């Protein structure tokens, strides 16, 4: 794994998760817990697409597949440690909004990677 791949996979993966985590903590004071994930989801999609379209370069599908796997793994691990274990939510944490988020962490990098791959000039 070269330096840029490391930054794209782990750096952006953790940064995107951290943005959602901070938004969740802020929204905890103004929204019912059951709505926080749904409120963050559209913002997270826009930010993730922005990162994928402007900050992640290249058109190698393997790179985007690595992003999909690493970003999803980071989200699952950090959610478990910093939400489930740390806050011990009274209601179950893993509901539809969380599963949609995990699916999007796989789908968005793959979709953007495929679009960039198709748009890349061929020799």
Print pLDDT tens along the chain (123 aa).
Answer: 688 899 999 999 999 999 999 999 999 999 999 999 999 999 999 999 999 999 999 889 999 999 999 999 999 999 999 999 999 988 889 999 999 999 999 999 999 999 999 998 877
pLDDT of residue 10: 97
Neighbours of 106 (CB within 10 A): 16
Question: And the tokens for 63?
Answer: 């790179």
Interacting residues of 36 by C-beta distance below 8 A, sequence separation 6+ = 24, 27, 28
- Location of structure tokens 């679009």: 115
> What share of the chain in percent tops pLDDT 90?
88
Distances 115 to 61, 73, 119 between C-alpha atoms, Å? 10, 23, 6
HSE-up (13 A, CA, CB side) for residue 100: 11
pLDDT per residue over 27-42, tens digit each? 999 999 999 999 999 9
Q: What is the pTM of this model?
A: 0.94
């Amino acid at each position: 794994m070269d330096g840029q791949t490391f930054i794209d996979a782990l750096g952006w993966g953790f940064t995107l998760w951290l943005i959602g985590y901070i938004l969740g903590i802020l929204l905890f004071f103004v929204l019912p817990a059951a709505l926080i994930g749904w409120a963050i989801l559209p913002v997270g999609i826009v930010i993730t697409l922005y990162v994928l379209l402007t900050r992640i370069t290249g058109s190698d599908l393997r790179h985007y597949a690595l992003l999909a796997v690493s970003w999803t793994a980071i989200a699952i691990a950090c959610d478990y440690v910093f939400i489930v274990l740390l806050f011990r939510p009274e209601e179950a944490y893993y509901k539809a909004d969380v599963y949609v988020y995990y699916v999007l962490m796989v789908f968005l990098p793959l979709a953007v990677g495929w679009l960039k791959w198709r748009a890349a000039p061929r020799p």
